[in-house]
Structure 1
Amino acid sequence: MNIILWAAQVALALLFAVSGSLKSTQSLERMAETGQTSAKIVPLRFMRTAGISELFAVAGLILPWATGIARVLTPVAATGLGVIMVLAATVHSRLREPRTVLVNMAILAVCVFVSVGRFADL
């Protein structure tokens, strides 16, 4: 189970490293052009905050569990990313993007898996 949890953590870390980097550096117009359609209705400050939060969560997904220091931060980071996915699904639902909502829910499921699995290992 540990290997599967690590694989899920790494997959989430890669996904959110890219997403967070783009949200924290690109203009709203560029985000919308590259598929971040939520940029059409979400203010830039909110997108930047979400992006920076995602980058901190990436570190939280990997470093605490890998080092054994403050291991509780790993499931907390996964939970925080899950909250971001619920918020993203809400925005994409308002934009009438059912496929994107399904993707958000699939990512949410992985976040919940990591969170529950790592809380159980504490």
Structure 2
Amino acid sequence: MNVALWIAAGLLAAVALTGGVTKTFVRRERLAAQHGGEWTADVSPGFVKTLGVLELLAAAGLILPALTGIAPGMVAVTAGCWVLLMIGAMITHYRRGGLDRFVLLNVIYLTIAAFVAWGRLPA
């Protein structure tokens, strides 16, 4: 079970890191021109960058507490926050394009995050 939790947390951390770097360092206009990133045209650049920073923090929070043994319960908290973020992402993508592949991808990420949150809850 521990190995499955590490794999799931690592996958989510990679997704969070990728999204965080993109939203933090790529200009909003370029993001808005890409399929799936159209929603960024409707929000401020600061909001997009804030989401990016939160995703970078999530990448760290999914791995570092368990790796270092410092506050390992924070992995469950981070995964729970990721669930909330995915709910927002699903709503945003659904409003823009209906039930498309991005909504389904967010459901998959939400499910993995819920598994990590459940599996890493302190005993």
TM-score normalized by the length of structure 2: 0.91
**1:45-80 Cα deviation digits (max 9, x unpaired):** 211111100101111100100111111111111111
Following superposition, the deviation at residue 40 of structure 1 comes to 2.8
Q: Which residue of 2 aligns with 1:115?
A: 117
Identify which range, 26-35 or 9-18, moves more after superposition.
26-35
Following superposition, the deviation at residue 21 of structure 1 comes to 0.4
In percent, how many aligned pairs have the same letter?
36
Identify which range, 76-85 or 25-34, moves more after superposition.
25-34
**For residue 8 of structure 1, what is the amino acid of its counterpart?**
A
Cα distance in 2 for partners of 1:95, 1:118 equals 34
**For residue 18 of structure 2, what is the amino acid of its counterpart?**
V
TM-score normalized by the length of structure 1: 0.92
Cα distance in 2 for partners of 1:8, 1:37 equals 28
**For residue 65 of structure 1, what is the amino acid of its counterpart?**
A
Cα distance in 2 for partners of 1:84, 1:106 equals 13
**For residue 38 of structure 1, what is the amino acid of its counterpart?**
W
**For residue 111 of structure 2, what is the amino acid of its counterpart?**
A
Moved over 6 A (4+): none
Aligned residues: 121
Q: Unpaired segments of 5 or more residues in structure 1? A: none
